[in-house]
Amino acid sequence: MLLTKRQTLFLVVICLLASKVQRLPSLISTDLGRHGYFVFLIMGMIDFVMLLLCLGFNKLAGKTTTYELTQKTGGAFYSKLIFLLFAIYFLFNSILPYEAVHDLFGNILFDHLSWPLYSVVLGLTIFFIASKGLKNMGRLAEVFFYIIVLSFLMLLILGASTSNLRLTLPVCDIDGELLVQICFKYNIWFGDFIIIYMFVGKIKQDDGSLGWPVAVAILVATLVLTFAYMVFYGLYQEISGEQNSLISAISQFALLGLDIGRVDWFLVLFFQFAAVISSSTYLLLASKCFLAVFLGEEKASDKADIKRKKLVCFYVVLTLLTALIYFLDIFIFKSNQEGVALMASFTKWLGVAVVFVLPVILLITASVFAKKRKKQEKNLQNRFKNLSFLKNSKKTTKASVLLEKKLRKLEGGEK
């Protein structure tokens, strides 16, 4: 077991905030203007519904990992196909916060900063954090979570104090067809709950299943993000599309009555911890998924030499993916708007498959797995109760031990 429930919740919220409140509002405002907040509201509600399916999967799986569950239910090919989709999805989601923090430093804070050189530093940073594994990632989320959330809320309050929210009205003239198109176009920015599938079977406490706190957190975050867009558009109106980052622009007109300039930049920089943690988390998960596709998932019972080889392969995959992110950053995303537009057009159907379709398929898979497990447990219990099976004390002892081992294995206690 690697994560506590609190660490899991913190990671989900950090990944949810990291990219949505930076460049995405600018992109949406270019197409939808004052009605852009409906994208955050609608996609957030869809995420909430899909999250409920994910939590149902988590409850049915118990302490069995997602890879093990899909492999036992659908076979090796089925599990590898699922994890290949996860890997590609996580890789693209690692690029989004990476580009957001790079854009802030390379184009806003230090416009003379060498783009390729800074990308090397940022790439090494996320590589180092991801290489430390999931347990340390959870601890990192615990350390920075309150700083990140408090910084964002303070920036939002500063922005709301000078924003004219009435400029987001009226809503009666909204273009419904265009709204659906924009939701479809930028769906890769949503679905952060998908990372929970990678934590299933690795969560401490009780049966390892997450409960209502995650659902409440997603729901609250959706409402806050919707309000954040309204504040953002209320400040900039028609020129909102020219503001690359909401997080750096939202408090621009609130100087706190001081003569030393924008002290809110400290809050902006604190919030960028979220981008670094999110990019590192997605990079780690993408590496784990690719490794599972080619080598299978690591088990506690693996011998030392096999685990050592898998660890070496993990570092190789992590290095290759970091190099790929660097390559995309330098040659594709240096022109920010064009790079993001290209990525959005390329990932539309991937987002639909992973965020909207896959949770339904996985919930059905978990239901089949749970039924099979109950049937096997019932058969074992009936066999144990059979008097002929318990003929003498020696056989009774052996049968009890055998039954206990099989039941533990079915529950995912043995890897």
Answer yes or no: is pLDDT of 207 > 90. Answer: no
What is the pLDDT at residue 243? 83
Residue 285: per-residue pLDDT: 95
Per the DSSP assignment, residues forming a β-bridge with 203 are: 3
Could you tell me which residue, 219 or 381, shows the higher pLDDT?
Answer: 219
Q: What is the pLDDT of residues 107-152, one digit of tens each?
A: 777 777 787 888 899 999 999 999 998 889 989 999 999 999 999 9
Q: For residues 399-409, give the mean pLDDT.
A: 61
Continuous segment of H or E residues that includes residue 299 = none
Q: Return the closest-CA partner of residue 122 out of 328, 313, 301, 264.
A: 328
Whether residue 50 is predicted with pLDDT greater than 90 in this model: the reply is: yes
Q: What angle, rounded to 10 degrees, do the helices at 76-103 and 66-74 form?
A: 150
Average pLDDT over residues 2-17: 90
Give helix 358-385 / helix 37-61 axis angle, nearest 10°. 10
pLDDT of residue 242: 83
pLDDT of residue 274: 92
Q: What is the C-alpha to C-alpha distance for residues 351 and 343, in angstroms, rounded to an integer?
A: 11
Amino acid at 258: L
* Cα torsion through 286, 81, 49, 92, rounded to 10: 30
CA 223 to chain centroid, in Å, comes to 18
335: phi > 0 → left, psi -120 to 50 → alpha, else beta; which?
beta
| Amino acid letter, 225 | L
Q: How far apart are CA 271 and CA 151, in angstroms?
A: 6
Among 63-72, 118-127, 249-258, 371-380, the range scoring the smallest mean pLDDT is 249-258
pLDDT at 387: 46
Position 196 confidence tier, pLDDT thresholds 50, 70, 90: very high
pLDDT at 339 over 80: no
Using CA atoms, how far residue 10 sits from 134, 143, 235, 312, in Å, is 13, 10, 30, 29
Does 155 have pLDDT greater than 80? yes
- In the numeric block, which tokens belong to residue 191? 């679905």
- Which pLDDT does position 394 carry in this prediction? 47
Condensed to tens digits (0 to 9), the pLDDT of residues 303-328 reads 667 778 888 899 999 999 999 999 88
Q: pTM to 2 decimals?
A: 0.86
DSSP 332: T
**Residues 191, 361: Cα–Cα separation, whole Å:** 15
376 or 301, which is more confident? 376
pLDDT value of position 381:
66
User: At residue 213, does pLDDT exceed 80?
Assistant: yes
21-25, 379-383, 394-398 — which is least confidently predicted?
A: 394-398
* Averaged pLDDT for residues 326-353: 78
| Whole-number pLDDT of residue 266 | 83
- Minimum mean pLDDT range among 7-11, 133-137, 202-206: 202-206
Greater model confidence, 264 or 414: 264
81 pLDDT above the threshold of 70: yes
Q: Can the peptide bond before residue 170 be classed as cis, meaning omega within 30 degrees of 0?
A: yes
Asked if pLDDT for residue 39 goes beyond 90, the answer is yes
Task: Decide: residue 406, CB within 10 A, 0-12 exposed, 13-18 middle, 19+ buried.
Answer: middle
Q: How far is it, in rounded angstroms, from Cα 411 to Cα 236?
A: 55
Q: Which domains does the chain have, with CATH numbers?
A: 5-369 (1.20.1740.10)
Arithmetic mean of pLDDT over the chain = 84
pLDDT at 415 exceeding the cut of 70: no
Asked if the model's pLDDT at residue 406 lies above 70, the reply is no
Q: Report the residue count for the chain.
A: 415
pLDDT at 410 over 70: no
pLDDT at 21 over 80: yes
**3-state class (DSSP) for residue 176:** helix
Residues 6+ apart with CB under 8 A from 360: 53
Lowest mean pLDDT among 21-25, 97-101, 246-250, 377-381: 377-381
Q: Name which of 1, 37, 53 is nearest 193 in CA terms.
A: 53
In this prediction, residues 375-395 reach a mean pLDDT of 59
Q: How far apart are CA 96 and CA 27, in angstroms?
A: 13
**Residue 290 pLDDT class (50, 70, 90 cuts):** very high
Annotate 100-145 with DSSP letters as a single string. Answer: HHHHIIIIII-TTS-HHHHHHHHHHHHHHHHHTHHHHHHHHHHHHH
Residue keyed to tokens 């509600």: 45
Indicate the DSSP class of residue 393.
Answer: H
CA 11 to chain centre: 8
Chain-centroid distance of CA 275 in Å reads 12
- Lookup: tokens for 60: 């049915």
What is residue 3's three-state secondary structure?
strand
Confidence of residue 395 (pLDDT cuts 50, 70, 90): very low
DSSP 65-109: -HHHHHHHHH-HHHHHHHHHHHHHHHHHHHHHHHHHHHHIIIIII
CB 337 within 8 A of CB 103: no
Query: Residue 194 corresponds to which tokens in the numbers above?
Result: 């998908």
What per-residue confidence (pLDDT) applies to 409? Answer: 64
Instruction: Count other Cβ atoms within 10 Å, centred on residue 277.
Output: 25
